[in-house]
Amino acid sequence: MLRRCVSRLRTPGALCCPLAGAPPPARDSWSPPRSYSSEVVHVDHSLPNPSWSKDMRLIFYQFMKKSEDGSWKRLPSYRFTSSKRLEEVKIFFPDAKPVKEEPLSQARVFPRSLEEGLGFEYAMFYNHVENRTVCILQGGPYLQGVPGFLHGGAIATMIDSTVGMCALKTGRTVMTANLNINFRRPIPLCSVVVINSQLDKIEGRKLFVSCSVRSVDEKTLYSEATSLFVKLDPKKSSP
């Protein structure tokens, strides 16, 4: 889907708009829980927290060490995005409007929507020389597919996020056109995996990015994926 470099989104602020269009009668009395309201919106969630396992911390600090000479850079990650981005999106998809234009005060970035330790615990690092993005992921108990293992959609979500980050660091405003995933082995729930993505080539407005998902010791290949991103052209209403 459509992306833009989140590392540039330092401005705190929640995107806002209602849950749906003109509310039907059945929804009049319903409103979503507002437990999110107390969060400070500019919290960087890609830093260690008490739910991180030993493996997660180990790999994280390995990449922090690599970042000391500037070859790698940790990418911050927020639960909310600036409402300014909605205006940017309209340039490319003027007819693909949200259900209602009003602010969606409840909106959260999907991979950061679950509470600490329950869903996606992850951190990303980018190497601008090699055009690579690495994501270290600890999939929590709310990401279950078959008992004891991650749901395929959870894996797809983090693959999409990682290759997307790799593409947008090169292509600025890009859109996922294709995502092709081969699932080799199920990933144990609560384990740590490393998603290693790289920009393979650029052809005009097309960016080709691939990735692998492996265990921390690199011995187990869980998944592989290829993806195609398209740089959006502000002069056109769609890619």
Q: Considering the complex, state which of residue 68 and residue 95 has its C-beta at the smaller distance from its own copies.
A: 95
Judged by CB under 8 A, which stretch of 70-78, 123-131, 158-166, 198-206 contacts its own copies? 158-166
Contact between 168 and its own copies per CB under 8 A: no
C-alpha 8/C-alpha 214 separation (Å) is: 29
Question: Both tokens of residue 52?
Answer: 């991180």
C-alpha 8/C-alpha 206 separation (Å) is: 22
Q: Helix or strand or coil: residue 123?
A: strand
For residue 178, the tally of other CB atoms under 10 A from its CB is 11
C-alpha 88/C-alpha 8 separation (Å) is: 14
Is residue 160 flagged as an active site residue? yes
C-alpha 77/C-alpha 191 separation (Å) is: 21
Which parts of 17-76 interact with its own copies (CB under 8 A)? 17-24, 26-27, 29-30, 32-33, 48, 50-54, 57
Judged by CB under 8 A, which stretch of 39-47, 65-73, 101-109, 200-208 contacts its own copies? 101-109
Contact between 8 and its own copies per CB under 8 A: no
Which parts of 194-233 interact with its own copies (CB under 8 A)? none
Q: Angle at Cα 5 formed by Cα 187 and Cα 113, nearest 5°?
A: 50
Which position among 43, 45, 186, 216 is part of the footprint of its own copies (CB under 8 A)? 186
CB 149 within 8 A of CB 186: yes
Q: Helix or strand or coil: residue 38?
A: helix
Q: Considering the complex, state which of residue 17 and residue 199 has its C-beta at the smaller distance from its own copies.
A: 17
Contact between 78 and its own copies per CB under 8 A: no
Which one from 28, 55, 160, 200 is the annotated catalytic residue? 160
Q: Considering the complex, state which of residue 14 and residue 199 has its C-beta at the smaller distance from its own copies.
A: 14
Smallest distance from its own copies to CB 158, Å = 7
Residue 134, judged by CB atoms within 10 A of its CB (0-12, 13-18, 19+), counts as buried
Of 230, 235, 226, the closest CA to residue 162 belongs to 226
Contact between 156 and its own copies per CB under 8 A: yes
Which parts of 102-131 interact with its own copies (CB under 8 A)? 104, 106-111, 113-119
Which position among 175, 195, 199, 209 is part of the footprint of its own copies (CB under 8 A)? 175
- Annotated active-site positions, please? 160
